[in-house]
Chain A
Amino acid sequence: MPYRFLGEIVLLSSFIVLAGCSSIQESYSATGYQLRFADDPSLAAVEQDSTLWQNPFPHAAPDSLGIWWLRSEVEISPGSVKENSLGLAVLILGSFEMYWDGKLIGRNGVVGLDRATEIPGTYRSFFPIPDSMQSSGSHSVALRISNAHAGSFVRFHGIYLGDYQSLIRSGFMDTALIHILAGFFLVVAIYYGLIYILNRRQSYVLLFAVLSLCFFFLILFEYLKYYYIYPYPFHLTRLRIIAGFTFVIACLLPMFYLFRFRFKWRWLPAIVYVGLLVYTWLDMRGYDAKCLGMISWATFTSLAIVLYALYQRQKGALLGLLSVVAWGQSIFFYYDYMIFSGFAAMIVLNLFALAIEMREQRRQHEASLVRSSRLEIELLKKNIQPHFLMNSLTSLIDWIEEKPAVGVQFIEALAREFEILMDISDATLIPIEQEISLCESHLKTMSFRKERHFTLKTTGICAEAMIPPALFLTCVENAMTHNVFTEKRNVFEIRGEQHADHIKYTVLTGGKTAKQTTPSPYGTGLKYIRARLEESFPQRWRLTSSPGAAGWQTEIHIFNSQSKN
């Protein structure tokens, strides 16, 4: 791991440590709750017959619970009465009246028998305890509750006694820290979203962006409770939203690894996996259980995928494994801060892997640009290379001295060849007709030089077809340089054949192949043809070159983009 990423990792681990240190509340949780599903003003009183009250707490209750009571004892130890006022924090899905030692000290919403009469209070509520009632010792807390807006859900998450100011501020520190992570997720989501929009190449880049965005929203909704004191009916909506994002995340995590690496089978495992998640969602009771269940499946599935990628020795598989472990640990440890910091670590590890990959892609792209410009130079050099240019000029001078009229024709033919060459020099593909006229003009030039007739015959050429520039010209030039022409008339031939899955071009040159020490006299020329073919038709061309009946025979096969050779 390069040192530049150490910084991020140190930062992330410090989040985990800080989040762990600032525990939820510096308060004393009330214990020994008792319930009574009845309504009577006398139930507020300190002295009660405990046999009439029930425990434990029902998780779900009939719709018409009406108004009910909850009571508990809290102890104010002598040390806990400080300069600051004490207060109570209540976490419950319901509206209630709060009684402290039998006296009403506050209300959360308006308690009512049904949805019409009840005005929902907030999920979290805070009550200062009057100074006169803060004596040390045991105190009774009683709540007169209605939860008509919660449907059949009965959710009570505790009564906390503590310093009133601290109770209100609780969770702020965690929220602030975790929102730094949220910002990190958001930036990554935007950055990779834009990269995907601009390139539209790799689907996993989009998956990565959507995942990051989901992490961002998950944090937002998870920690909303600390700064938005919402009416209690919204609590279930919030839990559904969180579970929804968790579902999407659980879907996308293995998908990301599935598409990030190269696998033969993708869609079938993806569909099976989503089916499994839907089953888990329906099977599990309670949103927390659903979330943990789905993330567990995501962990094990992702782990299987990266391990398989590692087994196949795919690039980046080790970083992938590390990233799965980074967030997967949270299902065994603490499923809250751990999963977010785990996700952050996963994002960093994947950023690293993606950065490596993008650098590789950029390098390849740059290399291809260099290759293209080198080929362009090579093409231009064809006609300014001394062998062609100086011999042409020497011949030309002689023609002008001997027969000026022919000299002029020669100049015209030479000019025509240069003109076409300039036209095509910066193109990677040109119409085949242009290539043929280039060959024709070259043969005309050579006719003047060699004082023999060179003509070109074409058959089966599809006028619209595109080929790399100077492909056929190179074959013709090779023949001109290396072959011996004894005949007065020499016919070169270019044949095109359209097959079901490919086009075949055959270039037949005139003359006799001169004996050479090297196995193929066409070495450098063929290198140019190969490079050009690879540039425009990567991995789907074939080139054969062999001595023919007369001269040299070059066959070029270009396969359709669907069928590869």
Chain B
Amino acid sequence: MNVVIVEDEPRIARRIERFTREVLSDKITSLQVFEELEPAQSYLAAQAVDLLLLDLNLHGKDGFSILQPLLAAPFHTIIISAYTDRALEAFEYGVLDFVPKPFSKERLAKALFRIHSPTTAAVQKPLKYLTVIKTKTVVLIDIDKIVFIKGAGPYSEIHLDEGRVELHNKNLNKLAILLPESFERTHKSYLVNTREIVAFHSFSGSRYELVLRDDSILPVGRTYYKKLKDKWK
């Protein structure tokens, strides 16, 4: 796992680095610390990074305009900030977690664990928008407009109502962690907004299908079928 830390106070940066190494230990393949945002941004653009731990002054307009393009990137972002009053807003735009300063090792560990298991993320995920970069500009997608998401290798195809499709840089696994509970994994390549489901068909030979409100028909994976059935009982 490649981790990047951006923190302008060296002592705090070292503290984040120390805790991250202790928690993730041998999962880390590389860890870079930047004191300034600019060199970090160029590094992030050039390298395949999995996680960004970012100290960002979210006060004022600039904070969010810096944050939004980062959230469209393939990696997860955890904000470590003193401005706790902006935490909710940060969640709405799709940060993995918001760690308020001052922080303990336990709190940072909790944030780091979310990368792999959405179940540990006990907090209600107030995500409202998915951020995508479209011809170099940031576009916000209202998650209520998403019908389903289809995995496409390192990317995800976001199918919206009225047949529009947007491409997100995060893979399906990462989006699954960020999206609220109304989104359900129905197949290894599909994430479905459960509110859009209108019918559920089962065929012989353990073949299952979902019919959505826009008449699209999606296959249901065998492993997900039982979970879905339990939930829909």
Contacts and interface: CB of A to CB of B under 8 A. Distances in A.
B69 interface: no
Interface stretch (A252-260, A271-279, A391-399): A391-399
B12 A395 contact: yes
B120 interface: no
B38 A387 contact: no
A391 B82 contact: yes
Given A387-B57, A515-B38, A517-B62, A395 B9 contact: yes
Contacts of A516: 62
Contacts of A387: 57, 59, 82-83
Contacts of B14: 398
Contacts of A514: 36
B11 A390 contact: no
A386 B84 contact: yes
Contact of B103 (A389, A394, A396, A484): A394
B89 to A, nearest CB: 15
A393 B84 CA distance: 14
A393 B9 contact: no
B100 interface: yes
Nearest to A446: B9
A391 B11 CA distance: 10
A387 B9 CA distance: 11
A3 to B, nearest CB: 49
A449 interface: yes
B11 A399 contact: yes
A449 B102 CA distance: 13
Given A484-B36, A517-B62, A393 B11 contact: no
B207 interface: no
B38 A391 contact: no
The residue among A386, A396, A399, A514 with the most chain B CB atoms within 10 A of its own CB is A386
Contact of A398 (B12, B36, B38, B81): B12
A40 interface: no
A77 interface: no
A394 B83 contact: no
Contact of B62 (A389, A390, A450, A518): A518
A374 B103 CA distance: 32
Interface of A: 386-387, 389-391, 393-399, 449-451, 484, 514-518
Interface of B: 9-12, 14-15, 35-36, 38, 57, 59, 62, 81-85, 100-103
Contacts of B36: 484, 514
A451 B12 contact: no
A399 B9 CA distance: 13
Scoring A390, A450, A484, A516 by chain B CB atoms within 10 A of each residue's CB, the highest score goes to A390
Given A387-B57, A515-B38, A518-B62, A449 B11 contact: yes
B101 A393 contact: yes
Contacts of A449: 9, 11
Nearest to B65: A517
A389 B82 contact: yes
B126 to A, nearest CB: 21
A394 B57 contact: no
Contacts of A386: 81-85, 101
A180 to B, nearest CB: 65
5 contacts: A386-B85, A395-B9, A395-B11, A395-B12, A516-B62
Contact of B102 (A397, A450, A515, A518): A397
7 tightest Cβ-Cβ pairs between the two chains A and B: A390-B82, A386-B82, A394-B102, A390-B101, A393-B102, A394-B101, A398-B15
Contacts of B101: 386, 390-391, 393-394
A450 B13 CA distance: 11
A391 B12 contact: yes
Contact of B15 (A389, A390, A394, A451): A394
Nearest to A486: B35
Contacts of A517: 62
A200 to B, nearest CB: 47
A510 to B, nearest CB: 15
Contacts of B10: 450-451
A43 B101 CA distance: 119
Given A390-B101, A390-B102, A394-B103, A450 B9 contact: yes
Contacts of A390: 82, 100-102
A394 B102 CA distance: 4
Contacts of B62: 516-518
Given A390-B100, A393-B101, A484-B36, A398 B11 contact: yes
Given A398-B15, A484-B36, A514-B36, A391 B84 contact: no
Contacts of B11: 395, 398-399, 449, 451
A429 to B, nearest CB: 30
Nearest to A481: B57
A517 B37 CA distance: 13
A451 B13 CA distance: 12
Contacts of A451: 10-11
B9 to A, nearest CB: 6
